Amino acid sequence: MNVKEPLFIIGFMGAGKTSVGEKLAEICGYSVIDTDQEIARKMKMEIPQIFAQYGEERFREIETEVLVELSQKSVITTTGGGIILKKANREVLKTGKTIFLQAAPQTVLERVGLDSGRPLIQNKSLEEITEMYQTRLPLYLECASFVVDTTDLSIEEVANTINKEMNVC
């Protein structure tokens, strides 16, 4: 079964985008594709390797290509936390329903911790994470059709809230 219109799930690292997208897809019987996983598949290497070998700028170029491709498909698309940094990506995100999953920086730090698969957050203090989050927050909100604070909710609660409020299924 396909989504009715493009559905994007955005948010800062550790907000639960991939997990919530998978749960929402399960509830509704839809397909879900994660932009980071799609980039890794296309490049045949993991995200930290792409950053190390090609740099963030090239990663962001590939990310835009993948987002544009996925926006043409009837799937739930979950994104990387930095996808909103490029204006072109924000314009694509505005073409469908875009759910912004929000989580407090302290929660992000607790959830992500020292995850080596997240090159932009490795070895960052709470203050640095908070600053990065605050810089990105207006960009997330610019694209958002609906906002859910995931700080104190389970994955299932977030997915059910999105479905109820956005009539996804």
Residue with tokens 């698969």: 117
Q: How many other C-beta atoms can be found within 10 angstroms of the C-beta atom of residue 120?
A: 15
DSSP 123: T
d(CA 10, CA 145): 11
17-34: pLDDT as tens digits: 999 999 999 999 999 999
What is the pLDDT confidence band of residue 132, given thresholds at 50, 70 and 90? confident
Average pLDDT taken over every residue of the chain: 89
- If you average pLDDT over residues 29-53, what whole number do you get? 93
pLDDT at 54: 94
d(CA 77, CA 6): 8
How much of the chain exceeds pLDDT 90, in percent? 66
pTM for this structure?
0.88
pLDDT at 97: 93
Residue with tokens 């479905």: 163
The amino acid that residue 165 corresponds to is E
Query: Half-sphere exposure (CA, 13 Å, Cβ side) for 140?
Result: 26
> Is residue 15 a contact partner of residue 150, using CB atoms and an 8 Å limit?
yes
- If you average pLDDT over residues 93-101, what whole number do you get? 95
Element (H or E) spanning 25, and its range? helix 17-28
